[in-house]
Structure 1
Amino acid sequence: MATEEWQARCAALWDRLDDVDRDDFVQAMKDLAAECDPGDPVALFEVGGAHDSTGYTEAAVGYYERAVAAGLSGVRRRRVSIQMASSLRETGDPERALAILAEERGRGSDEYDGAVAMCEALTLAKLGRDREGLAVALIALAPTLPRYQRSTVNYARALIGEAPR
């Protein structure tokens, strides 16, 4: 099980990502994960992230899938959906990425809503659905604007042929 001490060492390893050879980083994360049970969802998630962050995107997907199957929960569950969808988008399965993001949106709302929208917008663009992607991005941006929130959402909806509200 990933203890608080283990998670602190994991965070310290992530802090060194830019200072370590990518293969050494992945191996260090695997070594750290080996201290946990083989099916520990947090350890699987972290190894997947290590692969993803170092350019081994295809390998990351398998770790992410195993982490979800092992019961990954909390904020990491939200993050794995974003990261896996991004990986799938980049490795040739953007339709599956959209499905994962749609499922994730249905799980609720939190501080990662913007990241979900960002990933969805990029995935739609990858599929040649740029106007839909722009609409998703604008709708996500609207709440952060000091004014023009309603107008921004209406303009975004118009991009995809929806009537203003």
Structure 2
Amino acid sequence: MATEAWEARVAALWERLDELGRDEFVQAMIDLAAECGPDDPLALFEVGGAHDSTGYTEAAVGYYGRAIAAGLSGVRRRRVSIQMASSLRETGHPERALEMIKEERARGSDAYDDALAMCEALTLAKLGRDREGLSVALIALAPHLPRYQRSTVNYARGLVGDAPIG
């Protein structure tokens, strides 16, 4: 089972990602995960992320799915949805990725909403639905603008034929 000390070691390993070779990094994460047991959701999430971040995207999907099935919760549940959807998009399954994004969006709102929107926008673009993707991205960007929020949302909605607000 993952502990605070274990999570600190995982964080330290992530800081070394760029200095280690990709296979060395993945193996180090697998070794750390083995300390938690084969069905620990946090360990599975981290091993999935290690695979994903080093170009082993298809393998990452399997670990992410196992982490979800093992009961991954909290912020990591949100992150695994974003990461898995991104991996699905890049491995030729953008429809499945979009479905996962929509399911995650229905789970609620948090600090990862903009990351979810980014993933959705890229997935829509991968599906050839660029105007929808741009609309999603602009709507996510609007709250961060110093002005023009309402206009940005209206223009973004107009890209996909939605009526402007008010």
Aligned residue runs from structure 1 range 82-161, under 5 A: 82-161=82-161
What's the offset of the Cα at 1:86? 0.2
- Partners of 1:109 and 1:148 lie apart in 2 by 23
Deviation by residue 1:44-66 (Cα, 9 ceiling, x = unmatched): 00000000000000000000000
Q: Does 1:38 align with 2:34?
A: no
- Partners of 2:60 and 2:37 lie apart in 1 by 19
Supply the AA of the counterpart residue of 2:100. Answer: I
SS at match of 1:164: coil
- Partners of 1:121 and 1:56 lie apart in 2 by 23
Q: Which residue of 2 aligns with 1:67?
A: 67
What's the offset of the Cα at 1:42? 0.1
Deviation by residue 1:25-45 (Cα, 9 ceiling, x = unmatched): 000000000001210000000
- Partners of 1:6 and 1:162 lie apart in 2 by 48
Supply the AA of the counterpart residue of 2:78. Answer: R
- Partners of 1:4 and 1:161 lie apart in 2 by 49
Q: Does 1:12 align with 2:12?
A: yes
- Partners of 2:162 and 2:40 lie apart in 1 by 44
Q: Which residue of 1 aligns with 2:79?
A: 79
SS at match of 1:38: coil
Deviation by residue 1:41-97 (Cα, 9 ceiling, x = unmatched): 000000000000000000000000000000000000000000000000000000000
Runs of 4 or more consecutive aligned structure 1 residues displaced over 4 Å after TM superposition: none
- Partners of 2:47 and 2:37 lie apart in 1 by 13
Identity score, percent = 82
Task: Supply the RMSD in Å over aligned alpha carbons.
Answer: 0.4
SS at match of 2:35: coil
Supply the AA of the counterpart residue of 1:116. Answer: L
- Partners of 1:100 and 1:12 lie apart in 2 by 30
Unmatched 5+ stretches in structure 2? none
TM-score by length of 1: 0.99
Alignment coverage as a number of residue pairs: 165
Supply the AA of the counterpart residue of 2:52. Answer: D
Deviation by residue 1:125-151 (Cα, 9 ceiling, x = unmatched): 001000000000000000111111111
